[in-house]
Amino acid sequence: MNLGRAKSILIIAFAGLNLFLGYHLFWPDFGRLTRVSVTAEDLRAIEVLLNDNNYFLQTNLDRSIQVSDFLIATPARSFQGEILQGFVKKGARVTESEHATAYRAEEETAVVYSSGLIRVIYEPGVILAENFPGLEKRRLKEIVETYLTEEQLMPEEIAFDYIEKSEAGYITLYYHQTYKEMPIYAGQLQVFIDSDQLTRIELYWLEPVERLPLREMEVISAAEALKNLVDQLGASPEPRYIKDIELGYFSGEYDAEKWEMPPVWRIMLDSNEHHYINAFTGNIEQESAMPEQIPLQN
Amino acid sequence: MEKIKSILLFLLFGLSLLLTYQLWYGEMPAQLLEEDVYERLMVEEPRPLENVIMPELIVSSVEGDTYVFKKGENGYESLWEELSFTLQQLSFYEAVEEAMPPADSNKVLTYYLQPELPVGEGLPWLGNAIYAELEMIELYTDNANKWLVLSEAGNNHKTNLLLSSDKAKRFNQLFDEALFENKARHTRLTNENIAMLSGYDLEISGSIYVPQESIYLDEVILKPEDLDHDLILKTFFIDYNMARIIEEKDGGLIYTDGEKGLRLTEFGLEYSSPRKETGSATVTYPEALFNSSSLISYHGGWPEDLRLDELSLSGWGRTIHYNAEWCMYYAGFPILVKQPTKALFNDSGLIYYTRFIFAPDDVIMVGEGQKTAAMWYDALEKAANLFKDQASESENVLHLEEMRLGYVVTNSSGHYRGEPVWRIKISGETFTLQADQLNSVDEEDLL
């Protein structure tokens, strides 16, 4: 046997070996390229299920297979510190109670809760613009964001979520935090406007520490999340419309040092009611209530 | 051409090495990682039913004197094992007698059974009898015979069993002098003997025995149970990859998958699965006893000195569950903690579980070594005064529900200490008094 033929045989053998090894290493990912998490049949089935229970899909479902991981977060103490420093510079008096500290400046008060939530109350309210409620949504948003940026209350990595207007003239703008283009629904900024006056801001902001790629797993499909929601909520007496379903991170508010947030499917219904479905377990995640009590003035 | 073949061969060889390395040591794909978590756990076997129940008290009456044996005391195990063995061997219908033990017989042993002892078909004790739950068993003797008198819980029904001579002889062998060596004489509190506490109208609820003479308690350094956190986590979360971690400010760790939560601290754990609350508990009492054994053995193990103190069915509306509670004992005295080791469970599984176990750390003596407990009447008077001071409305009759010596756990100068106390419960209010000085112990300072 000459050397050339021996090389050819070895090349074929090693090529075969490499194909074999490559198949075992990467076959789930090969499959992922060609698979979808929601087939056309799944989509039809989930629509039937939703309609049978008086829910109607008004958005497109992401049908690709997605993987995600946990995100470690901690309350954004440095950003919180910057805000409070601003109050101290304005000569705010500080009063403390068991779970909160209040910084009272002349026309505004910041209350910091031990969980990290900051509530800024304006007394009297701040007039943002003439005929504020009559402005179109885009303009209204612009004015609010300009004011918050000037007052150094506008964090970075923020995304506008939605706006609510009540018949009584109350307007609330909702923002959420983002991290590498993924929403963090737990990090929220809410701006409350009464007629044409800014009356209150609530800010609960987090500092993403790291993602845990070692615990990266395939998430349940958007269709499965919808099914779980219907299973747990039951049939609706009135028609409900599903406006949006999106993958992000969410957790309750914890009075803790740091914690891991799981990926969730946020399902937005009409009238902005939303539910979070854990994208690993399929369970509904509970949203914690914001504390109401403000420390008494000393 | 040959040169190209050589380069290609070299590249393929290198690639094969790289792929082999990656396959062997590299990260697992997500799906394989998920499957890998269903590993076999090495946990403690549940105790058989024979070892789940132990008496709350064993009271012995000898020549007019009363002695009490409690968990962890010398003689307690042998007295209980003898009775348990006898009931396992006894043929009910051969031993049962219509007549009560004769009037001239003496009651020498009384076993107070809390939780109740189930007997009857399919159970280790009196396997051929009709099912019953016993709250008390008394041993009577005269010169010739011995009888067991079984008292059922929830009614006044009593059953008498005559012991054969060989079984009676085995009991005789227990009563040697060593059994009562260094034992303090006790007295059973009655409404009459507490009437001397002037100014209070006290009534006794249940059977309360207190020392008639001075009792010395070791002051001990305790250590919290050393739990294998990794194993504990795996026993609660089948797929712990799904659980996320919350680091508390006090160093505690919470694991939750959004449905159930586990909190691990430096000296215990707390678990809850609120969705399981709504459900029924249809298992029988003996099955519930075994389930309680399985739960505690699986989730951390069942230490030798830990006794099942209570197993009861409770609930409201559609929420019915069994409530099991355990307590650690040292030399006959309970080690009382603020959050007892406790499990609530129903047909859906474990709803709630707390586990805070402290054990003596090689019985290190501290300070003077021993404390002399104040006499029961002084402790009772102090507690009754405290009750009167804090009662919003004056009650005509106070009910003494519990009175016992034990330890509470305090944390001072970096050590967990077992502080000897009198624990007294009057009309629903619990008072913890330092055993020697009778100063009130603030519950907030306890662990």
In a shared domain, residues B176 and B244: no
Sort out which chain B residues have CB atoms less than 8 A from A14's CB and list them.
Answer: 9, 12-13, 15-16
CATH of the domain at A275: 2.40.128.690
**Partner A, chain B 211-270, Cβ-Cβ below 8 Å:** 241-242, 244-249, 254, 257-259
Of A183, A210, A237, the position where a domain reaches its end is A210
Number of domains in chain A: 2
Which residues on A lie below 8 Å from B27 (Cβ)?
214
Q: What is the pLDDT of residue B364?
A: 58
Nearest CA in chain A to B29: A28
**Residue B12 located in a structural domain:** no
Contacts of B5 in chain A (CB under 8 A): 4, 7-8, 11
Do B322 and B233 share a structural domain?
Answer: yes
Establish if B163 belongs to a structural domain: yes
Report B:2-41 residues touching A (Cβ under 8 A): 2, 5-6, 8-9, 12-13, 15-16, 19-20, 22-23, 26-27, 29-34
In a shared domain, residues A232 and A110: no
In a domain, B331, yes or no: yes
Is B258's CB within 8 Å of A278's CB?
Answer: yes
Nearest one of B378, B407, B405, B419 to B209, comparing CA atoms: B405
Task: Indicate the SS3 state at residue B302.
Answer: coil
Question: Does A179 share its domain with A222?
Answer: no
> Which ipTM score applies to this complex?
0.71
Is the domain of B338 the same as that of B367?
no
Q: Do the domain assignments include residue A9?
A: no
The whole-angstrom separation of Cα B72 and Cα B418 is: 16
A218 & A172 share domain: no
- B246: domain CATH number is 3.30.310.160
* Tokens describing residue B123: 């159970």
> How many angstroms separate the CA atoms of B386 and B64, rounded?
34
Chain B neighbors of A6, CB-CB under 8 A: none
What residue numbers bound the domain in which B402 lies?
188-221+363-445
Q: Which of B5, B26, B244 sits opposite A8 (nearest CB)?
A: B5
Q: Are residues A104 and A166 in the same domain?
A: yes
Nearest CA in chain A to B32: A28
Question: Which residues of chain A, if any, have pLDDT below 50?
Answer: 289-298
Q: Taking a C-beta distance cutoff of 8 angstroms, is the pair A21, B16 a contact?
A: yes
CB contact (8 A) between residue A7 and residue B5: yes
Residues of A at the B interface, defined by Cβ within 8 angstroms:
3-4, 7-8, 10-11, 14-15, 17-18, 21-22, 24-25, 28-29, 67, 70, 214-218, 251, 254-262, 278, 280-281, 283-286
Do A193 and A219 sit in the same domain of this protein? Answer: no
C-beta atoms surrounding B373 within 10 Å: 25
Question: Chains A, B: CB contacts under 8 A, how many?
Answer: 95
Q: What is the pLDDT along chain B (447 residues), one digit of tens a residue?
A: 788 889 999 999 999 998 888 777 765 544 444 445 556 788 999 999 999 999 999 999 988 899 999 999 999 999 999 999 999 999 998 888 888 899 999 999 999 999 999 999 999 999 999 999 999 999 999 988 999 999 999 898 999 999 999 888 888 888 876 788 889 999 999 988 887 775 678 889 889 999 999 898 888 889 999 999 999 999 999 888 888 899 988 889 999 887 889 999 988 999 999 888 888 999 999 999 999 999 999 999 999 999 999 999 998 777 899 999 999 999 999 999 999 999 999 999 999 999 999 998 865 555 556 789 999 999 999 998 898 888 766 667 888 999 999 999 988 777 888 999 999 999 899 999 999 999 999 877 788
Do B386 and B323 belong together in one domain? no
Q: Is residue B3 part of a domain?
A: no
CB contact under 8 A, B30 and A17: no
- The reply to whether B159 falls in a domain is yes
| CA nearest to A4 within chain B | B2
Residues of A in contact with B257 (CB under 8 A): 278, 280-281, 283
Indicate if B256 and B323 belong to the same structural domain.
yes
Q: What CA–CA distance (Å, rounded) separates B300 from B271? A: 12
- Residue A228 tokens read as 């779980």
Which residue in chain B is spatially nearest to A214 when comparing CA positions? B27
Both B68 and B178 in one domain: the answer is yes
Query: Backbone phi, then psi, for A122, in 5-degree steps?
Result: -105, 120
Q: Which long-range contacts (CB under 8 A, 24 or more apart) does A11-17 make?
A: A11/B5, A11/B8, A11/B9, A11/B12, A14/B9, A14/B12, A14/B13, A14/B15, A14/B16, A15/B12, A17/B16
Regarding whether A90 and A202 lie in a shared domain, the answer is yes
**A chain contacts of residue B19, beta-carbon cutoff 8 Å:** 18, 21-22, 25
The pLDDT of residue B392: 66
In a domain, B345, yes or no: yes
DSSP letter string over B377-426?
HHHHHHHHHHHHHH-SS--SSEEEEEEEEEEEEEEETTEEEEEEEEEEEE
d(CA A75, CA A60): 34
Instruction: Write out the residue range of the structural domain in which residue A150 sits.
Output: 75-210
Residue from B6, B236, B256, B265 to probe the interface with A (highest A Cβ count within 10 Å):
B256
**Domain check: are B212 and B327 in the same one?**
no
**Residue A256: which of B6, B20, B246 has the nearest Cβ?**
B246
Domain shared by A170 and A108, yes or no: yes
Residues B350 and B395 in one domain: no
Q: Min CA distance, A43 vs chain B (Å)?
A: 24
User: What does the pLDDT read at residue A31?
Assistant: 57
Distance from C-alpha of B244 to C-alpha of A263, rounded to nearest angstrom: 11
Q: Which residue of B has its CA nearest to A25?
A: B23
CA-wise closest residue to A223 among A24, A71, A89, A45 = A45
Q: Is residue A295 part of a domain?
A: no
The verdict on B346 and B269 lying in the same domain is: yes
Specify whether B69 is located in the same domain as B111: yes
Residue B9 is assigned to a structural domain of this protein: no
Q: Which of B9, B32, B249 sits opposite A11 (nearest CB)?
A: B9
In a 10 Å sphere around its CB, with 0-12 CB exposed, 13-18 middle and 19+ buried, how is residue B307 labelled? buried
Alpha-carbon distance of B384 to B200, in angstroms, equals 8
Question: Which one of A167, A192, A210 terminates a domain?
Answer: A210
- Assess if residue B351 is contained within a domain: yes
- Picking from B356, B378, B413, the residue at the C-terminal end of a domain is B356
Residue at A10 is within a domain: no
Both B290 and B318 in one domain: the answer is: yes
- Residue A144, amino acid: V
Same domain for A131 and A46: no
Where does a domain end: B324, B339, B356? B356
Task: Give the CATH number of the domain where residue B211 resides.
Answer: 2.40.128.690
Q: Out of A3, A22, A280, whose CB is closest to B19? A: A22
Is residue A240 in some structural domain?
yes
Same domain, B57 and B170: yes
What is the spatial distance between Cα B306 and Cα B299, in angstroms, rounded to a whole number? 14
The answer to whether B19 contacts A15, with C-beta atoms less than 8 Å apart, is no
Which residue among A14, A218, A257 places its CB closest to the CB of B13?
A: A14
**Best mutation site among B18, B239, B246 for testing chain A: the one with the most A CBs within 10 Å?**
B246
Q: Of the candidates A175, A190, A210, which is a domain's last residue? A: A210
Question: Could you tell me whether strands B333-336 and B398-412 are parallel, antiparallel, or unpaired per DSSP bridges?
Answer: parallel
Predicted pLDDT at B177: 66
Whether residue A59 is found in the same domain as residue A162: no
Total domains in chain B come to: 3
Answer yes or no: do A232 and A167 share one domain. Answer: no
Out of A22, A215, A285, the one facing B241 most closely (by C-beta) is A215
pLDDT digits (tens, 9 = 90+) for A165-185: 888 878 999 999 999 989 999
